[in-house]
Amino acid sequence: MPPQVGRDGAAYQPDHYGTLRKYDEKGTVLWTTDFAGFGTFTPLQGPDGRLYIVTDGALFGQQSRHIVTDEGRVAWSG
């Protein structure tokens, strides 16, 4: 899955295990957030800096949606 470059120059990289990582411009991991399920799509960053993420959810074929703060905290899931 391709990374998303944020407004601050950080890269947000999802993987197929349901993990999202934020990297700085030097490639240092700033935070890691794990989601239930086995797939995380490339996140979109809103104008407020929050990330909007869709995962495959805990059950295959069921998508879950999440909002993640710039600090890597899940602010909302549904």
Each residue's pLDDT tens digit, 11-31: 999 988 889 999 999 999 999
What is the reported pTM?
0.84
- Sorted by sequence, the CB contacts under 8 Å of residue 61 that are 6+ apart come out as none
- Whole-angstrom distance, CA of residue 62 vs CA of residue 70: 26
- Sorted by sequence, the CB contacts under 8 Å of residue 66 that are 6+ apart come out as 35, 51, 52, 53, 54, 55, 74, 76, 77, 78
Q: Are strands 19-23 and 29-34 parallel, antiparallel or unpaired?
A: antiparallel
Q: Assess whether pLDDT exceeds 90 at residue 41.
A: no
37 or 69, which is more confident: 69
Q: What is the pLDDT of residues 51-62, one digit of tens each?
A: 999 887 655 667
CB atoms within 10 A of CB 12: 23
